[in-house]
Amino acid sequence: MQQKIIILDFGSQTTQLIGRRVRELDTFCEILPYNKFPKDDPSVIGVILSGSPFSVYDKEAFRIDLSEIRGKYPVLGICYGAQFMSYALGGKVEPAGTREYGRARLESFERENPLFKGFDDHSQVWMSHGDTITALPEGFRVIASTDKVVNAAYQAEGEKLWGVQFHPEVFHSVQGTLLLKNFVVDICGGRQDWSAASFVDTTVAELKEQLGDDRVILGLSGGVDSSVAAVLLNKAIGSNLTCIFVDHGMLRKNEFRDVMHDYECLGLNVIGVDASAKFFKDLEGVTDPEQKRKIIGRDFVEVFNTEAKKITGAKWLAQGTIYPDRIESLNITGKVIKSHHNVGGLPEEMHLQLCEPLKWLFKDEVRRVGRQMGMPEHLITRHPFPGPGLAVRILGDITPEKVRILQDADDIYIRGLRDYKVRLSGEEARKVLAAGVPATMTDGEIEVSLYDQIWQAGTVLLSTVRSVGVMGDERTYEHPVALRAVTSTDAMTADWAHLPYDFMAKVSNEIINKVKGVNRVCYDISSKPPSTIEWE
């Protein structure tokens, strides 16, 4: 049976990160809303309570009945999780004099406590809290303190129940992963058998069982998630899988041709549909961003459905939905998370059931699974790309000529990012490797392309703007393009990438010299929030 750690989400921004860290230990975990603990699930081996935006004494604070877990599983409370257990069991939690945010050191800790096995003296931890535990419940003892926080960690005497005020899941808690390993592996007995190879084996077997001889349809986008889902399904059911890849005319330069070629090399049964004429016609004269998105969404469903209906006897619709797309708990504090699935609204009369083989995976795990199945690196490391494609990167109305200009400029930019190599060492190198970027460490250094170092890059055609330039002896009056490159882990927040000046100079030169219709290049230095990654 697949063992699992349950992470109960009280709404903290770092809950997903706890999940990622546990998965990095190759132990399976599920993040569930704080009030959805699976009482009768025999595969649960331990429980982690996350942080929260609330104070324990807030009226609307999330609370649970601790008797469901206390004494039944090992429990670790993090920040609010620790405060809540302490408060609920008779301790005292009060507002700290000042909100403590940032690095701190464990000035003392119980060396023999299994939670701190292998910890160094003065280990650095990351604090982010406005409340502090001022008195522990009876029978609890303090097991670590910082200079400002006496009860930085506690354990219930004789019980497998711990609380930590700091955030072990955050990168700046230097031995945070060790603490989680101590909890998950040593205390809970996690087997560390969750690997890409075991995932592929188990999932292929499950898909065979689930799907039998049924026919399955899958919409491919050229992106990592749908491609990995297709290859997994292909392994399980072969030609019973039919993939549909729609070209709406607003993909990157040569993307439809290149990706179709990749898919064919992977042995996938793909129908490529060039529907660009329809999309261009329906978008003619439309300038409003929302309107563009609606038209593209509607046309996409129409084209996809027409093709899907031709596949007789299909019983399933497969999608490359991944875990962050659906973590229900993200909505517990009422925040609306982007929805970005482009295949939807299939005709009801087809009665298709949904098959989502990647629904438990984080993005980096999807990439590991893709590599495990031997997929080409350029497919696996592709940046995310919006469903409506270049249509949301052309300000103003869309014409085939504008798309051509943007494709040419973007191609120079993206090729440049792939070709430009940087050497990294120390923490920077570690961060890049931890994100799954393919690179080998030699003499403490790695070499990676700019492309692999960033989350996403693209070019925007400001076709509603014209500016004057001079080329040779001629005056020009043409459009600018804006280059965008961001670093991120989930696209929910993003920072603009600090690209090297010599790289920007070279790309700008090449675009202006080679792309007719562009005479100025700008670089977008806005972060998200308050901006978004895409311009429209």
Site residues for ligand XMP per CB under 6 A = 338, 340, 342, 384, 386-388, 456, 491, 528, 532-534
* Beta carbon of residue 419, minimum distance to ligand XMP (angstroms, whole number): 23
By beta-carbon proximity to ligand XMP, the closer residue of 36 and 359 is: 359
Choose between 368 and 383: whose C-beta lies nearer to ligand XMP.
Answer: 383
Q: Tell me the closest approach of the beta carbon of residue 529 to ligand XMP, in angstroms.
A: 9
Taking the least distance from each CB to ligand XMP, the nearer of 395 and 533 is 533
The residues near 442 (Cβ < 8 Å, ≥ 6 apart) are: none
79 is known as an active-site residue: yes
Q: How far is the C-alpha of 457 from the C-alpha of 386, rounded, in Å? A: 11
Question: In whole angstroms, what is the distance from residue 304 CA to residue 217 CA?
Answer: 10
**Which residue in 169, 365, 478, 536 is the catalytic one?**
169
Closer residue to ligand XMP in complex, CB, 26/524: 524
Q: Which residue, among 484, 360, 362, has the nearest Cα to 434 in the 3D structure?
A: 362
Listed in order, strand segments (DSSP E) in 331-419 are 353-355
Residue type, 124: Q
Q: Which is catalytic among the residues 129, 167, 248, 383?
A: 167
Give whichever of 276 and 489 is closer to ligand XMP, judged by the CB atom.
Answer: 489
Is residue 29 within 8 Å of residue 22, measured between CB atoms?
A: yes
Tokens of 430: 């570690």
What type of residue is 396?
G
Toward ligand XMP, which CB reaches closer, 169 or 325? 325
Give me the phi and psi of 508, to 5 degrees please.
-60, -45
- Tell me whether residue 116 or residue 413 sits nearer to ligand XMP (CB atom): 413
CB of 203 to ligand XMP, least distance (A): 23
N- to C-terminal Cα distance for the chain? 46
**CB of residue 120 to ligand XMP, shortest distance in Å:** 38
Choose, from 79, 188, 243, 355, the residue flagged as catalytic: 79
Least Å from the CB of residue 536 to ligand XMP: 8
Cβ contacts of 376 within 8 Å, gap of 6 or more:
262, 265
CB 243 within 8 A of CB 270: yes
DSSP H or E stretch at residue 149:
none
CA angle 119, 11, 329 (to 5 degrees): 110
Determine whether 474 is an active site residue: no
What is the rounded CA–CA span in Å between residue 292 and residue 220?
21
Does residue 169 carry a catalytic annotation?
A: yes
Cβ neighbours of residue 204 closer than 8 Å, sequence gap 6 or more? 232, 235, 236
Nearest approach in angstroms of CB 235 to ligand XMP is 25
**Closest approach of ligand XMP to the CB of residue 344, in Å:** 11
Q: Of the two residues 109 and 304, which places its CB atom closer to ligand XMP in the complex?
A: 304
Integer Cα distance of 387 and 317 in angstroms:
18
Residues 6+ apart with CB under 8 A from 349: none
**Residue 245: CB minimum distance to ligand XMP, A:** 14
Question: ∠ CA 207-386-352 to the nearest 5 degrees?
Answer: 35
Positive or negative torsion for Cα 413, 415, 417, 419 = negative
Cα–Cα dist 64/57, whole Å: 13
Nearer to ligand XMP, 165 or 456 (CB): 456
CA-wise closest residue to 436 among 527, 372, 387: 372
Closest separation in Å from C-beta 387 to ligand XMP: 3
Closest CB to ligand XMP: residue number = 387
Tokens 């709406």, located at residue? 248
> Catalytic site residues?
79, 167, 169
